[in-house]
Amino acid sequence: MSRQEEEPVSQFIMSLAVLIVAALIPSMVTAADESPNTSAGSFVVHPIGRFQIAEGHARIILDKKYEAGLLGLDGFSHIQVFWWFSNNDTPEKRSVLQVHPRGNRENPLTGVFATRSPFRPNLIALTLCKIVSIKDNVIEIEKTDAFDGTPILDIKPFIPGDAAEDARFPEWLKKRGR
Ligand SMILES: C[S@@+](CC[C@H](N)C(=O)[O-])C[C@H]1O[C@@H](n2cnc3c(N)ncnc32)[C@H](O)[C@@H]1O
């Protein structure tokens, strides 16, 4: 084969290589740009503070570094506190999908997403708390159903839109304490 015949073949191979690299670059860039949080479908959440239950007091002790986030909260009477069922953070407890509500076998087997069960895949709890006072990074609250030391994930003010006038509920919930 003469040199003149070889050249078109090597040019063709070069062009092909350029095309392949060009096609690959966008996906390489996307993969590098995506943060591990979103591409893995998981999220890292850090506590912003903890509940302190002691000597008849219930308090939210916010980490000092988040104190500025409390500005304006004194205009509200109640907060929605999101916290973590920290004592249940095991694969077994996080794989529970159905329970008898309130641990009462007389209540019908119910999906955890239809209950306030402390056993669930994501151990997120929500408690409506009445504010007693706010001083620096400490929110004194009337009461909570979280244990002392429980990590807090977020705090939001209770707003009128949180109440639903046309709410309905299953029978088991209407029986108090059962
Ligand atoms: C039925 S759950 C409801 C929690 C929240 N009000 C909700 O609706 O998501 C409340 C119970 O969780 C349990 N609990 C409190 N703190 C906890 C913690 N850090 N880890 C696991 N369970 C906890 C207590 O037994 C408490 O009575």
Each residue's pLDDT, cut to its tens digit, for the chain (178 residues) gives: 444 455 665 665 556 565 555 555 444 443 444 455 556 689 999 999 999 999 999 999 999 999 999 999 999 999 999 999 999 999 999 999 999 999 999 999 999 999 999 999 999 999 999 999 999 999 999 999 999 999 999 999 999 999 999 999 999 998 876 6
**Integer Cα distance of 3 and 10 in angstroms:** 11
Residue nearest (by alpha carbon) to ligand 1 atom 23: 85
Give φ, ψ of 52 to 5 degrees.
-125, 115
Residue with tokens 């912003």: 48
CA of 85 from ligand 1 middle (Å) equals 6
Tell me the CB-side half-sphere exposure of residue 61, using CA atoms within 13 A: 10
What is the residue-averaged pLDDT of the chain? 86
Nearest Cα to 109, choosing from 94, 96, 122?
96
CA of 93 from ligand 1 middle (Å) equals 13
Global pTM value = 0.81
Query: Cα 86 vs. chain centroid, distance in angstroms?
Result: 13
**Integer Cα distance of 106 and 109 in angstroms:** 9
Q: Which residues of 123-140 are buried (b: 16+ CB within 10 A; e: fewer)?
A: bebebebebeebeebbbb
**Integer Cα distance of 175 and 165 in angstroms:** 20
Cβ < 6 A, ligand 1 pocket? 85-88, 116, 118, 125-127, 145-147, 150
Residue nearest (by alpha carbon) to ligand 1 atom 6: 127
CA of 102 from ligand 1 middle (Å) equals 11
- The pLDDT value given to residue 129: 98
**CB atoms < 10 A from the CB of 63, how many?**
14
**CB atoms < 10 A from the CB of 147, how many?**
12
CA of 143 from ligand 1 middle (Å) equals 13
Q: Where are the alpha helices (DSSP H) in 34-170?
A: 36-39
Pocket-testing residue among 85, 113, 124, 126, ligand 1, by greatest number of atoms within 8 A of Cβ: 85
Question: Which atom of ligand 1 is the closest one to the Cα of 124?
Answer: 9
CA of 154 from ligand 1 middle (Å) equals 16
**Integer Cα distance of 134 and 121 in angstroms:** 33
> CA separation (Å) from 144 to 36, 80, 113, 148?
35, 11, 21, 10
CA of 99 from ligand 1 middle (Å) equals 15
